[in-house]
């Protein structure tokens, strides 16, 4: 199921470019000026926020897909999910961060009543452990 189209993608890419430009300016100390904010707003107009059900669907898609034991790579990747839902990779990545995914699963009524809830929460925690293990420096004897 692919919902995105090239027209949507270019508008979406403009939105991301505007945001990145604004982030770079902000990092330099300058805030967005009115013109940059207006351009960003135009590029993002018509975009809607993800509903709770869409967030749960994304979390399900990602965390119920197989991950290799040696890395945190999964069969379903975030870019594909972003295209399916017409969102940016950054938006999907933010949602799928362990703390955010757990928050959705544990604080929403839909998440608390979700099918396979325990399996998803276990998968999220396993991924956190894998990433910590991969980031930990190895000691040589």
**How wide is the angle at C-alpha 85 spanned by C-alphas 109 and 26, nearest 5°?**
95
Return the SS3 of 67. Answer: strand
pLDDT of residue 21: 57
- Tell me the per-residue pLDDT of 43-71, one tens digit each, with 9 for 90 and over: 777 778 899 899 999 998 898 887 666 55
End-to-end Cα, the chain, rounded Å = 51
pLDDT of residue 110: 76
Cα distances from 51 to residues 46, 55, 57, 107, in angstroms, run 15, 6, 10, 14
Per-domain boundaries in the chain: 1-47, 49-136
Mean pLDDT over 63-80 rounds to: 75
- Tell me the per-residue pLDDT of 89-133, one tens digit each, with 9 for 90 and over: 888 999 999 999 999 888 877 777 777 888 888 888 888 888 888
Helix (H) or strand (E) holding 65: none
């Amino acid at each position: 199921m692919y919902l995105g189209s090239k027209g949507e993608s270019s508008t979406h890419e403009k939105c991301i470019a505007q945001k990145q430009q604004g982030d770079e300016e902000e990092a330099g100390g300058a805030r967005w000026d009115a013109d940059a904010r207006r351009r960003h707003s135009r590029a993002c107009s018509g975009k809607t926020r993800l509903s709770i059900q869409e967030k749960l669907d994304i979390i399900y898609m990602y965390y119920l897909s197989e991950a290799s034991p040696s890395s945190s790579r999964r069969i379903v990747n975030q870019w594909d999910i972003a295209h399916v839902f017409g969102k940016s990779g950054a938006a999907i990545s933010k949602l799928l961060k362990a703390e955010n995914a757990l928050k959705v699963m544990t604080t929403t009524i839909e998440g608390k009543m979700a099918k396979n809830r325990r399996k998803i929460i276990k998968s999220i925690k396993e991924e956190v452990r894998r990433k910590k293990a991969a980031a930990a420096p190895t000691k040589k004897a």
